[in-house]
Structure 1
Amino acid sequence: MRTESVIRCRGAVWDWLAQPAALFGGVYGLLVSSSAVAALTQFGETTRAARMDDALWVLFTALVSALAHGYAHQIAHRHARGHPGVRGVVRAVLTEWPLVVAVLPTTLVLWGAGLGWWRSTGIEYVAFAINTVLLLGWGLLAARAAGRTWGRAVRIGCIDALLGMAVALVSTLLK
């Protein structure tokens, strides 16, 4: 009996994470955090104080991106949703939570460097590596949710991770 409830719970979490809004927010948040780290560290500031500032900027960038996305969705779907005004905007912004959650690993890595938990020099490479693995995971999840085999899902996840890092680097070069 207990095993069945665990399996049902695991299936519910899988279905919840495989929703397009969660996938979009997770991937977009990882791209935002990777681009922000690259942009913030391109000038070579590696002090602990700079890393603490970087962590705050990454989180702030994600919050502003979530606000912008939620607001844009509210404007674009104003008639379809039927939630006019501030309440509708707040609801739309709150649906962007996966974007903010996705930047938390990068924020934690930078914050830890700022607190001296680990070296602050080169920590951006650790953040990129973590984000690449997470992009692979999101790609794998999306492919499995779409019914792909494990082998195909791993290949798709790897390609998604490479494309995601390419997008983050190109975005950084353009800024």
Structure 2
Amino acid sequence: MADSDSPPTATVSRGHDTREMILFGGVYGAVLASSMVAALTQYGHSSAHSRRYDALWLLITAFASALAHGYAHYIAERGPHRRGDALRALVDEWPLVTAVLPTVLVLAGAGWGWWPPDGVEYPAFALNIALLFTLGLTTARSSRRGWPTALAIGAVDALLGFVVVVANAIIK
């Protein structure tokens, strides 16, 4: 006979808060996109063809990162797993892939001739810095932080993206 104060015998996967997933995936995706653009620009070419190639590699890298994170979450959560938990863990990584899509579009657009392919990394960096700021600001506001604190948190998150840009400039 089970005691009413005893814990249940089966452990249920803790899952992840949607806001936490969006913040984690968004920040990781924006930093990943900036880092990839910096690396591809540093060691690649700036032709239209290479920008389409860069866009494809960024997308492949985002999916590979999402798969790795989803799988890591799945195996790191101790306890019994139900059928479909592995797939849910992978699907939960959608914010990471979504966060790189604007940069993929910037690179692909340069490859398709919508704008010049040379120097497209700077608008991509600015876009990712703005995304980091927005994620920090909205997350802080949704946590009921005041505007000054939320703006400061957004600025610190944007600073993360700026560090990637500065590192890219120093490397060149």
Q: TM-score range by the shorter chain?
A: 0.7 to 0.9
In structure 2, C-alpha distance between the alignment counterparts of 1:25 and 1:52, rounded to whole Å = 24
* Cα pair 2:125 2:161 within 8 Å, conserved: no
Equivalent in the alignment of 2:40: 40
**1:134 pairs with one of 131, 136, 152:** 131
1:154 is aligned with what amino acid? L
Q: Where in structure 2 are there 5+ consecutive unaligned residues?
A: 1-16
Q: How does 1:102-117 map to 2 (within 5 A)?
A: 102-117=99-114
Q: Which runs of 4+ in 1 moved over 4 A?
A: 167-171
Q: Where in structure 1 are there 5+ consecutive unaligned residues?
A: 1-16
Deviation at 1:168, TM superposition (A): 7.2
2:82 is aligned with what amino acid? H
Q: Name the count of aligned residue pairs.
A: 155
- SS of equivalent residue, structure 1 residue 45: coil
- SS of equivalent residue, structure 1 residue 138: helix
Identity %: 53
Deviations 1:118-159 (A, max 9, x none): 010000111000000010000101111221111221122011
* Cα pair 1:29 1:98 within 8 Å, conserved: yes
Matching of residue 19 in structure 1 with residue 16 in structure 2? no
Matching of residue 55 in structure 1 with residue 63 in structure 2? no
Equivalent in the alignment of 2:77: 77
2:58 is aligned with what amino acid? V
Deviations 1:33-89 (A, max 9, x none): 111111111025100000000000111100000000000000101416x236xx332
The CA RMSD measured in Å over matched residues stands at 2.4
TM-score by length of 1: 0.81
In structure 1, C-alpha distance between the alignment counterparts of 2:164 and 2:34, rounded to whole Å = 10
In structure 2, C-alpha distance between the alignment counterparts of 1:63 and 1:51, rounded to whole Å = 18
More helix by share: 1
Equivalent in the alignment of 2:120: 123
**Distance verdict in 2 for CA 1:145–1:122, change over 3 Å:** same
Deviation at 1:90, TM superposition (A): 1.7
In structure 2, C-alpha distance between the alignment counterparts of 1:134 and 1:24, rounded to whole Å = 13
**Distance verdict in 2 for CA 1:167–1:146, change over 3 Å:** farther
* Cα pair 1:29 1:100 within 8 Å, conserved: yes
Q: Which has the larger radius of gyration?
A: 2
**Distance verdict in 2 for CA 1:169–1:60, change over 3 Å:** farther
